[in-house]
Amino acid sequence: MIIKNQIRPGAYYDSVVLMQLQKGLLALDGVLDAGAVMATQANRELLEQSGLLTDEANKAGADDLVIVVKAKDESSATDALNQIDSLLSKRSAGIDQEFHPHSLEGAVKALPEAQWVLISAPGRFAANVAREALNLNRHVFLYSDNVSLADEVELKKIAQSKGLLVMGPDCGTAIINGVGLGFANRVRRGNIGLVGASGTGLQAITSHIHQLGGGVSQAIGTGGRDLKADVGAITAHQALEILGRDAATRVIVLVSKPPSPDVAAKLLSAARATGKPIVVDFIGYPPPARKLGSLNFATSLSEAAEIAMELLVISNWEFKRDHLPITNYYLRGLFSGGTLAYESLLALQATLSPIYSNSPIHESQKLDDPLKSKAHTILDLGEDDFTVGRLHPMMDNDLRLRRLKQEAADPEVGMILLDVVLGEGAHPDPASELAPAIAGIKKVKPSLEVIAIVIGTDDDPQNLNQQVDRLTESGVTVFRSVTDAVNHIAARFVNHPPSKYPQVSLDSFTQPFAAINVGVESFHASLISQGAKSVHVEWKPPAGGNEKMAAIVAKMKAKK
């Protein structure tokens, strides 16, 4: 048994070509194992695990192509290495042999109706190709990963300012006007539109929808990082806006890993602003409730599909996109029950941002000083700090009444949320103290909305009905659960100002799909097999992948 290798420094090869080279070597007589990879550290470690790492390969760098052959004897190994060039020159099966332009510009001339550019070139080159595509006023589907966050933000801002879309980087999947881009399942056309920061998430949900007899209008990918705070979900916001306008879309599914609280709140507000029923599957995001206004929270990909199908049945309504209230005041929650405060914060953070608490869910929500509220605030007045040498606020209303006056006096405050917990051990008649205080406050500030969550039973010693009546008479809106109260509040705070950027034209989603493909050839073949138009660019990295040289070339181009 012998291991031999060949190193090709600074060489660029398409990864399909490398896979085919490796398979070609493995098929040769006497070859036991083979590897053909760019010598990144990860790839060298993988070679080592397979027992294929030679000393020479171990010294190679990320820009070097390493080809290793393990063979039963010296001559088989030498024979195999001699075949490399002929194996590399073979075109992949199924790809046509027709003329391919060598540049994006050439491709645009060849297929001017192509509104989309699919880019799967290696990450370090991909951003520049995308920039070129945006300059040519084309939408970008950026399959490539290993693109920097800074590049992503820049590309998306350019796109946004031009009414263009950048799906990706690291966008695996989209279905535009019935045509699958990248990895996509063949599914029925239909009325469910999807926005996904997750490729296999979109694949799983669209497949489940198809399985359940439904169909897909559009599935727009955003790339996995779109919902990070740095990017601010630019693409997801555009996609929601598009699906909101798209008449064929009657239910919208939003799938992603959990975003930061602020990004989530803005995105969910935007989703509500579409006026259409929404299914949210922020995988790993604690749902604020099963349902919050038009938002329906799924706990799994398959359930997201199921809920979307159910909503389709009941969503034969006129969508109302306008008349959304823009609320510019703050909510203050003054709770005696810690869990009621926590559940309220959990649910309210889905639409209110920024929101603070002395018992925060995220570190960023921590109130510096529990004695001073800021922005939206949810206070647990039963927290340890407040109860040293003092009765619990469920028994003693003093602390809460003082804070109530303080909050009401704040001109930024427009809504106050209280809990009133009845039962054994609690204050014998909380409404007798709360109601007059609230009535007094509302006399001075009639615009103030006061909401109470009353927890109790008709057997409780305080007389539930009397408590509710007393509160209602003083102008309090009473709910019997956190979820009901939050639903009421969230409806007041659907703050989603219209976008100041140009709209993405719906034409790109309704005209016959035509694209330019840069990178993995099989994506081009896939478009053709789906009946779409596509031009594949015979792309090579600038200066053959040599980055210093590429920079010089780019400078020279710019000077022209």
Residues in 468-497 at the binding interface with its own copies, rule: CB under 8 A: 480-484
Q: Site for its own copies (CB under 8 A): which residue of 116, 141, 330, 342?
A: 342
First to last CA, the chain: 57
* 204 part of the interface to its own copies, by CB under 8 A: yes
Nearer to its own copies, 260 or 302 (CB): 302
- Strand bridging mode 295-297 / 291-292: antiparallel
**Which one of 136, 283, 506, 550 is in contact with its own copies (CB under 8 A)?**
283
Question: 451 φ, ψ to 5°?
Answer: -120, 135
Is residue 407 a contact point for its own copies (CB under 8 A)?
no
Rule CB under 8 A: say whether 463 interacts with its own copies.
no
In three-state secondary structure terms, 237 is: helix
> Which of 180, 193 has the CB closer to its own copies?
180
The token pair at 87 is 């194996």
Neighbours of 289 (CB within 10 A): 20
Region of 293 (left: φ > 0; alpha: ψ -120 to 50; beta: rest) is: left
The CA-atom distances, in angstroms, between 116 and each of 132, 512, 527 are 12, 11, 12
Shortest spacing between CB 461 and its own copies, in angstroms:
7
Q: What is the dihedral of CA 41, 43, 46, 48, to 10 degrees?
A: -70
Q: How far apart are CA 140 and CA 168, in angstroms?
A: 8
258 binds its own copies (CB under 8 A): yes
Query: Residue 148, interface with its own copies (CB under 8 A)?
Result: no
Other residues' Cβ atoms within 10 Å of the Cβ of residue 501: 16
The binder of its own copies chosen from 334, 455, 489, 494 (CB under 8 A)? 455
Binding mask 159-178 for its own copies (x = CB under 8 A): -----------x-x------
Burial of 31-45, coded b for 16+ CB within 10 Å and e otherwise, reads bebbbbbbbeeebbe
What is the nearest approach in angstroms of its own copies to the Cβ of residue 74? Answer: 25
346 to 365, contacts with its own copies by CB under 8 A?
A: 346-347, 361
Interface with its own copies (CB under 8 A), residue from 313, 388, 556, 558: 388
Q: Does 227 bind its own copies (CB under 8 A)?
A: no
189 lies in the binding site for its own copies (CB under 8 A): no
| Of 148, 161, 300, 511, the one binding its own copies by CB under 8 A | 300
Count, residues near its own copies per rule CB under 8 A: 110
Q: What are phi and psi of 186, to 5 degrees?
A: -80, 110
- What are 452's strand-pairing partners? 418, 478
Structure letter (DSSP) for residue 360:
-
Length of the chain: 560
Query: Which 504-523 positions form the footprint of its own copies (CB under 8 A)?
Result: 520, 522-523
Q: Which residue number, 467 or 495, has a Cβ lying nearer to its own copies?
A: 467
204: three-class secondary structure by DSSP:
helix
Minimum CB distance to its own copies smaller for 411 or for 425? 425
**Closest among 88, 79, 77 to 19, alpha carbons compared:** 88
Answer yes or no whether residue 208 interacts with its own copies by CB under 8 A. yes
Compose the 47-86 pattern: x for residues touching its own copies by CB under 8 A, - for all others. --xx-----------x------------------------
Q: Which of 21, 25, 31, 38 touches its own copies by CB under 8 A?
A: 38
- Going by their DSSP bridges, the two strands 330-335 and 413-421 should be labelled as parallel
Residue 264 as a binder of its own copies (CB under 8 A): the answer is: no
- Residue 8 touching its own copies (CB under 8 A): no
The separation between CA 85 and the C-alpha centre of its own chain, rounded to angstroms, equals 43
Q: How far is the CB of 125 from its own copies (least distance, A)?
A: 12
Q: Does 223 bind its own copies (CB under 8 A)?
A: no
